Amino acid sequence: MQALIRRLTESYGPSGSEDQIRDVVRGEIRGLADYVTIDPLGNLIAVVKKKAKSGKKIMLAAHLDEVGFVVSHIDAQGFARVQLFGGVNPLACVGSRVRFADGRLGVIGIEARRDDLTKVPAVNELYIDVGATNAADCPLRLGDAAGFWRPMELAGRRLIAKSLDDRIGVAILIETLRSLKQTPHEVAFVFSVQEEVGTRGAGAAAFGLEADVGLAVDVTRAGDTPNGPRMEVRLGGGPAIKVRDARMIADPRVRELLEQRAREAGLATQREVLEGGSTDAAAMQIARGGMPAGAIAVPTRYIHTPSEMVELGDVQACVALLTRFLQRPIEL
């Protein structure tokens, strides 16, 4: 699974520019589903057809896109001024490397003569330097998008990579699709677009699919770092089952069923009570006449920086839990 995660996290795909990462995922899932489609917004949808009459229609979502930068101006010296796609952590920017769709690398700089050097950088103080010497020489255009660039690394039982949010969810969906030998349900694996700019892809996909139950697989924060976020979730504690986040309250029936399936399989889980951020499930829950929805989250440190960290055991447990969830009856 590590090789898969490497291929996914080392691919390019800021919000709205998911063509490359979508092609990578398409290659990984070839032959595994009954059919695969790309919808009008660019979501990649792989469907495993229903095998039993009592089966339900389940929508799973993991988003393809990653946070990033979009060029808003090329100044006279050839520096690209930027805006952000998604909640990029500005503290993680200075000195970081970014990559554009054509593979071109750039480094993020910051205006040195700022009003207050102790303050978190504002986005209009940042720029991307691609080695251009003046505006005419700069190959970028307004609207070109870049993502962080870093190779994946292994640190003990943990992985460090850019865009684990949410390529780790993508990897979990792919592994689940591979390991899912039998299911009574129709399962739509949705690799969604534009989550980081407001869960735009998954909402549309949910409307189109009209599923009975929806689950997002995404990352959540972990409270186990020095003076860290105030939450109980920790790396190595197992999949975090969503209770609430900033935009949604998980359907209690979905949450309880996930917890029950984990108990049956002897898998440890945690409860995710998140005050900032949300996932595709928030949009799925209110599509059409509503969809009972929840989420499984991988505890993750340093989210929206070039060096996100997860524990492999948590990831494998997510695959095991999701597989079991899909193999068993789903009655709410």
Member of 38, 107, 265, 267 binding other proteins (CB under 8 A):
38
Closest approach of Cβ 44 to other proteins, in Å?
A: 11
φ, ψ (nearest 5 deg) of residue 166: -130, 35
- Asked if 180 touches other proteins (CB under 8 A), the answer is no
- Short-list 187, 188, 184, 185, CA closest to 202: 188
Closest approach of Cβ 279 to other proteins, in Å?
A: 14
Catalytic residue among 10, 175, 195, 311: 195
* Site size toward other proteins, by CB under 8 A: 58
What angle do the packed helices 312-327 and 252-264 form, to 10 degrees? 100
Closest approach of Cβ 148 to other proteins, in Å?
A: 18
Stretch that binds other proteins, among 48-56, 180-188, 224-232, 311-319 (CB under 8 A): 224-232
Q: Is 311 a catalytic residue?
A: no
Binding mask 9-28 for other proteins (x = CB under 8 A): ------xxx-x---------
Q: Which is nearer to other proteins, 177 or 287 (CB)?
A: 287
- Short-list 236, 218, 217, CA closest to 157: 236
- Asked if 291 touches other proteins (CB under 8 A), the answer is yes
Residue 69 in tokens: 């930068």
Neighbouring CB atoms inside 10 A of 185's CB total 25
Q: Which is nearer to other proteins, 152 or 291 (CB)?
A: 291
Binding mask 73-112 for other proteins (x = CB under 8 A): x-xx----x-x-x---------------------------
- Asked if 194 touches other proteins (CB under 8 A), the answer is yes
Closest approach of Cβ 29 to other proteins, in Å?
A: 17
Stretch that binds other proteins, among 54-62, 91-99, 161-169, 228-236 (CB under 8 A): 228-236
- Asked if 149 touches other proteins (CB under 8 A), the answer is no
- Asked if 200 touches other proteins (CB under 8 A), the answer is yes
- Strand order of the β-sheet with 270-273 is 35-38, 44-48, 186-192, 57-63, 213-221, 293-300, 240-244, 270-273
Q: Which is nearer to other proteins, 146 or 180 (CB)?
A: 146
Member of 142, 154, 155, 268 binding other proteins (CB under 8 A):
142
- Asked if 124 touches other proteins (CB under 8 A), the answer is yes
- Short-list 71, 70, 65, CA closest to 20: 65
Contacts with other proteins, residue ranges (CB under 8 A)? 15-17, 19, 38-43, 70-73, 75-76, 81, 83, 85, 124, 141-143, 145, 194, 197, 200-201, 203-205, 207-208, 223, 230-232, 243-244, 247-252, 255, 270-271, 273, 275, 285-292
Active-site positions? 195
